[in-house]
Amino acid sequence: MSYDVAIVGMGAAGLQAAISSSRKKAKTIVMGRSEDSALHGAEVENYFGVLRATGKELLNIGMEQARSFGAKLLQEDIIEMSSSEGAFRLLSDSGTEIEAKAVVIASGIMRKKLKIPGEKELFGKGVSYCASCDCNFYKGRPVAVIGAGSEAAVSAELMTHYASKVYWVAEEVDASENLREKALNAGAEPVSSPPKEIIGDDKVSALVLEDGSELEVNGVFIELGARSTTDMAMDLGVMPTPDGEINVDKDFSAGVEGVYACGDITGKPWQVAKAAGEGGVAGEMAAKYARGL
Ligand SMILES: Cc1cc2nc3c(=O)[nH]c(=O)nc-3n(C[C@H](O)[C@H](O)[C@H](O)COP(=O)(O)OP(=O)(O)OC[C@H]3O[C@@H](n4cnc5c(N)ncnc54)[C@H](O)[C@@H]3O)c2cc1C
C-alpha cells in the first residue's frame, strides 16, 4: 500500500498529525493501537476547550476526525522501518507493508516498567529494556524476555541468536501469529506464569515466577508493548538522544529529509496540549513535503 504520509502512533500526537496531513489532501495512514496510548487511561481537565473528558473519549473523537478527512487507520504495530531512494517502507506485525514519501514518528514514550522487586535495583546489572541494544552482552548466557506483544516477540527471536537459552515469559501472547511463530521456531521457550521478582546480589541470577518456580538467568529483558520506534528510527538515519527522545527543529523535522517526530517522544512536558500542537505542525509539514509543495 502506498501513501504520501505514514504516521506511527495512534495517540494525541499521531491522530492530530493525521487530521492535519489528511486535511492538506495528502494520502495519509496512521498506525498503532489507540488503547496503548498514554491517554487511554487518563482523565483530562487541562486541555483547551475541554472542561473534563476521559482520554478514551478524546481518542475516539480523534480517530473519527482523522477518518472523516480521509486518513486510513490501521490498529497494528510497526516492527520495521527502512528507506531507499527517498521512499520509506514500513512493516507491521501482521505483515502489512506500507510505502510512504514521508514518515511522522509519534509513538510516545516507551519502556514500561514491570514494577516487581529487583527490577530497579538490578537495572544495568542484568535487567534491560532494550534487547537490540544489549544482546551482545549475553552471548552464551541464559536470559528471560518478559512481555506479550510484538516488542517481546521480536526480542525473544533476536536473543536466540545470542543467548544459550531464551525463556519467553508471557501469560497470554498478544503478538501476531507471524511473530509468535518466528520466536518459537527460533527456540524461545514459552513460560506462562507471571514474573514475581528478579533476584541476584550484584548481578541478576534468577527470575522468580508467581507459581513459585525459578528461572536461572543472567539477563532479564523487559519488553512490554510495541517495538521501540527509537530503535527503528535509527534505521532511517535518525539519531535518538541517550534518553530515547528524538530531537526536532521548528518544523518538527527529525534531521532526516522526510522524517518528522512529535509528541512525548520529542521530550517533556508530557502533555496532551504539547502532543497535539506538535502533531498539527508535523502532519502539515509532512504533507507539504510529500506533495512537493
Ligand atoms: C495516567 C496518565 C494520565 C495523564 N493525564 C494527563 C492529563 O490530565 N493532561 C495531559 O495533558 N496529559 C496527561 N497525560 C499525558 C498524555 O497522555 C501524553 O502526553 C499524550 O498522550 C502523549 O501523546 P503521544 O501521541 O505523544 O503519545 P501516546 O498518546 O502515548 O501515543 C503513542 C502511540 O504510539 C503507538 N506506538 C508505539 N510504538 C509503536 C509501534 N512500534 N508501532 C506503531 N505504533 C506504536 C502506541 O500504540 C500509541 O498509539 C497523562 C498520561 C498518563 C499515563
Position 160 pLDDT exceeds 90:
yes
pLDDT band at 191 (very low <50, low <70, confident <90, very high): very high
For domain 2-110+227-290, say whether CATH 2.50.20.10 is its number: no
- Does the C-beta of 106 come closer than 6 Å to ligand 1? yes
Q: DSSP string spanning 28-93?
A: EEEES-GGGSGGGG-EE-SBTTBSSEEHHHHHHHHHHHHHHTT-EEE---EEEEEEETTEEEEEET
Report the CATH fold assignment for 127-222. FAD/NAD(P)-binding domain (3.50.50)
**Each residue of 3-62: pLDDT tens digit?**
999 999 999 999 999 999 999 999 999 999 998 898 987 888 899 999 999 999 999 999
The C-alpha cell at 174 is 498478544
| Ligand 1 atom, smallest distance to 55 CA | 17
CB 178 within 8 A of CB 94: yes
Calculate how far, in angstroms, residue 26's C-alpha sits from the geometric centre of ligand 1: 24
Separation between Cα atoms, residue 110 and residue 129, nearest integer Å: 9
- Does the C-beta of 275 come closer than 6 Å to ligand 1? yes
| Res 218: pLDDT | 97
Contacts of 205 (CB under 8 A, 6+ apart): 199, 216, 217, 218
| Ligand 1 atom, smallest distance to 278 CA | 26
CA distances from residue 41 to 19, 213, 271 in whole angstroms, order as listed: 22, 33, 14
| Res 173: pLDDT | 86
Instruction: Select from 228, 271, 281 the residue to mutate for testing ligand 1; criterion: most ligand atoms less than 8 Å from CB.
Output: 271
10 Å Cβ neighbour count for 174? Answer: 17
Contacts of 71 (CB under 8 A, 6+ apart): 18, 19, 21, 22, 28, 29, 30
Mean pLDDT across the stretch 204-211? Answer: 97
pLDDT band at 226 (very low <50, low <70, confident <90, very high): low
| Ligand 1 atom, smallest distance to 36 CA | 47
| Res 227: pLDDT | 65
Residue range(s) in the chain whose domain bears CATH number 3.50.50.60: 2-110+227-290, 127-222
| Res 43: pLDDT | 86
**Each residue of 197-207: pLDDT tens digit?**
999 999 999 99
273: three-class secondary structure by DSSP:
helix
Q: DSSP string spanning 178-222?
A: HHHHHHHHTTPEEE-SPEEEEE-SSS--EEEETTS-EEE-SEEEE
Atom 4 of ligand 1: nearest residue by CA position: 42
| Ligand 1 atom, smallest distance to 108 CA | 27
Rounded to two decimals, the pTM is 0.78
